[in-house]
Each structure stands twice: as structure tokens, then as C-alpha cells.
């Protein structure tokens, strides 16, 4: 099992890479192998540890957008009471988030174990990190090509388009493909502006991560010996996720996806070479 240093290291890695478009799942598969840590990734204790990290991340995302989430919940309640969706921004956003969460939730339930069993190899995860770099490059080329065109805001986004973003997010079931990267690019494909695409991606991630954690929360009842370490790690992951979100929200006001694409190519190539030929 993990020692305290390894636990905190993975917590920081999870908190940062979940929001940065570089695939937290890919890093959690590749990095321990590169460091030659003896981790049984399908053990009950390790799964419980990952649940705690994801709970911390989802809570941080909800807290960062807490004012938006309060308004979204209020907007959703109004639509149920009035039996229609009005012109209110948050009523519309509530149903955009529902539309985006349904496909990723269904695909996650149906395909998560099958996909992970097929692509759990660290070398394959490293290869998909390289693929992730090309996805980000495609998104950036798309953004550059639409700079002279009027772009949509979330208010002008349709529920079908939100569902397509949710489907794009589900590609993150493959280790190495970034959840935030895939959904940001999905938003850009639908003509959403860069800033709103990032915001929608981050808000959409919160229910997806939270639901996935709740489905696996029973593993936490098997962590009597390591619960404190897991709890501390979850808090660390949450803090890192909060700081990452705060940074990225400002960054995507003018920044591009290219630095993350370069990182994925460099790290993915180095990791793939080491895992295939040196280990």
C-alpha cells in the first residue's frame, strides 16, 4: 500500500491534473509505474483512496462555483415549479448541465470497467497522452479559425450541444484522455467561446466526478487502517483542485491549449519510451 509521501504526491497530482487538460487518470496509471511503486491498482484499499481524492476534487469544484451552483439549483427548482424553462440564465444553465451529465453518466456506468480493463496498461496510457496532445492542438486550431466569427455564450448554447459536450467528456474514461480537455474542445466544436467552454467544462466535471465517487463510496468502509491518510490526501487534492481551477479560469480568458498539448507530447513520448524499452 502507499506510504504517506506517496499518498500526498498522488493527491497533489490528482488535484492538479484533474482540471489541467492533461488527464489525471493517465497520470495516475503512468507515474506510479515510472517511479516503480508497488501498487495493486485493483485493491479495495487503493480504490477507496482514489474515491477520497475524487470526493475532495468534486467538493473543491462545487465550492469554487458555489454561487453559480446555488443559482443553478434555484433555477432548476423554478423550472419544476413553473413546468417550463424561462429566459433566466441559471434556469437554462441548470438544464445544460443536466443534458451534459446524462450521456457521460450513462456511458460511465456502461463502459467504465470495460474501457479501463482494455487500456489500463501504463504504456497505452502514455500513448493516449500523446493522442490527448493532438486533441488539444485540434481544439486550439479550431479556436484560431473562429476568432473572426461571432461565438456563442452559454446563454445561446442548446441542450443537444451540451449533450455532445457530455459525450466528448466521456472519452476521459480512457486513461490518457483529459476530461477537461475533451469537454473544452467539445464546446469549441459547438461554437462556444473559449472562456465559457472552460467554465462549462469545469462545472460539468463536478457532478460527473461526484457521482462516480458516490458509486464507489462503499470502498471507504474498508479503510479503517488508512482512513486518516486517505482523508488528509482528499483534503490536499481538494485544495490543489481549487487552486488549479482559480488559475485556469483566469488563464483561459486569454491563454491557449498549446502549452498543455506540448506537455502531453513530451511527457507521453518520454514515458512511452521508458515503459516500453527501459522497464
Between these two residues, 13 and 45, which has the higher pLDDT value?
Answer: 13
Band (pLDDT 50/70/90 cuts) for residue 144 is confident
188 CB-near residues (< 8 Å, 6+ apart): 139, 142, 143, 146, 194, 197
Band (pLDDT 50/70/90 cuts) for residue 20 is very high
Q: What's the pLDDT score for residue 106? A: 86
- CA 250 → CA 64, 86, 152, 243, 247, distances in Å? 13, 30, 19, 11, 6
How far is it, in rounded angstroms, from Cα 277 to Cα 279?
6
Q: What's the pLDDT score for residue 45? A: 73
Band (pLDDT 50/70/90 cuts) for residue 147 is low
Q: What's the pLDDT score for residue 112? A: 67
The chain-wide mean pLDDT, for the chain, equals 87
Grid cell listed for 187: 464546446
Band (pLDDT 50/70/90 cuts) for residue 38 is confident
Amino acid at each position: 500500500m502507499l506510504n504517506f509521501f506517496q499518498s500526498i504526491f498522488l493527491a497533489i497530482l490528482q488535484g492538479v491534473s484533474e482540471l489541467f487538460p492533461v488527464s489525471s487518470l493517465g497520470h495516475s496509471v503512468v507515474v506510479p509505474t515510472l517511479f516503480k511503486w508497488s501498487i495493486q491498482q485493483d485493491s479495495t484499499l487503493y480504490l477507496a483512496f482514489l474515491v477520497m481524492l475524487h470526493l475532495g476534487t468534486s467538493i473543491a469544484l462545487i465550492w469554487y462555483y458555489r454561487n453559480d451552483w446555488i443559482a443553478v439549483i434555484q433555477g432548476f427548482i423554478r423550472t419544476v415549479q413553473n413546468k417550463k424553462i424561462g429566459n433566466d440564465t441559471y434556469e437554462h444553465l441548470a438544464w445544460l448541465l443536466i443534458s451534459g451529465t446524462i450521456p457521460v453518466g450513462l456511458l460511465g456506468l456502461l463502459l467504465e470497467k470495460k474501457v479501463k480493463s482494455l487500456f489500463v496498461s501504463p504504456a497505452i496510457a502514455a500513448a493516449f497522452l500523446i493522442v490527448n496532445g493532438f486533441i488539444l492542438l485540434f481544439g486550439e486550431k479550431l479556436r484560431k479559425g473562429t476568432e473572426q466569427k461571432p461565438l456563442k455564450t452559454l446563454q445561446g448554447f442548446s441542450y443537444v450541444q451540451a449533450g455532445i459536450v457530455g459525450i466528448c467528456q466521456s472519452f476521459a474514461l480512457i486513461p490518457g484522455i483529459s476530461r477537461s480537455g475533451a469537454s473544452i474542445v467539445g464546446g469549441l466544436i459547438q461554437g462556444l467561446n473559449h472562456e465559457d467552454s472552460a467554465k462549462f467544462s469545469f462545472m460539468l466535471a463536478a457532478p460527473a466526478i461526484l457521482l462516480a465517487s458516490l458509486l464507489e463510496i462503499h470502498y471507504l468502509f474498508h479503510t479503517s487502517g488508512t482512513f486518516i491518510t486517505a482523508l488528509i490526501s482528499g483534503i490536499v487534492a481538494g485544495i490543489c483542485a481549487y487552486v488549479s481551477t482559480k488559475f485556469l479560469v483566469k488563464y483561459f480568458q486569454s491563454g491557449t491549449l498549446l502549452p498543455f498539448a506540448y506537455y502531453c507530447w513530451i511527457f507521453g513520448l518520454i514515458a512511452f519510451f521508458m515503459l516500453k524499452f527501459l522497464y
